[in-house]
Structures are given as C-alpha cells and as structure tokens.
Amino acid sequence: MDDFVWFYGASLEALRNGMTMTALGKLQRALTYLLRYFLVKNKILLRKPLPDERTLAQLQKSSVPKELISLVKDMYEKKVGIKSLLMKTREVYQKVTEQHLWLGQVPI
C-alpha cells in the first residue's frame, strides 16, 4: 500500500500546483494499486487490470466492494471532478484497508 500512498500524495501535490491532468494520472495509478491490493488480498482472479466492460462485469460479480467498482468507473469515464474523486478515493481506501489510519491524517 506504500505505492498507493505515494501516488495519492503525488496527486494532491500536483493538484495544489495546478496540474490537473498530472493529478488525474497519479490518482489513476493510485486507484490501480488499491484495486490490485484488494484483489490480491482476497485472492480474486481478474481477467485483466484494465476497466473495460467485461472486466467491470467480472468485478461486479465478485466480492469487490461496490464503492470501489463505482470509483473505477467514475475515474475512467471522467464523470466527476478531481476533488470529488480524491475524497471518494480516501473513503474507499479506508473501507478496503479496514480503516487504516494513514489517510485520516492527510488534509485534502
């Protein structure tokens, strides 16, 4: 989860510096690490890590939290803004890692 923490922090820093596209890229990478963490932890085999229609359908049939699937969809469909994605990522991170305290200390 160190990689997730690093990319999430890099995304926040890029957003503070006005680099929205860089922030989205870093957040996308952090989300990939979060999804991978959950899949490995729960021994879920995924067809491929890219969020196409078949993979999302496979995720929905698995035990992956609905919030994480929704976040993946929102990220790749670019339906919401970067700040709401950051807040939603924080909430999903806390749920997936069972209330890990690190992100509770990071200001947004």
Mention the CATH class of domain 2-103: mainly alpha
pLDDT mean across residues, the chain: 82
Please report, for the chain, the start and end positions of each structural domain, with discontinuous segments joined by +: 2-103
Whole-model pTM?
0.78
What is the per-residue pLDDT across 46-67, written as a single tens digit (0 to 9) for each?
A: 766 666 778 888 888 888 888 8
DSSP one-letter string for 55-96:
HHHHHHTTTS-HHHHHHHHHHHHT-S-HHHHHHHHHHHHHHH
Q: How confident is the model at residue 108 (pLDDT cuts 50, 70, 90)?
A: very low
Cα–Cα distance measured from residue 55 to residue 20, given in angstroms and rounded to the nearest whole number: 27
pLDDT of residue 1: 62
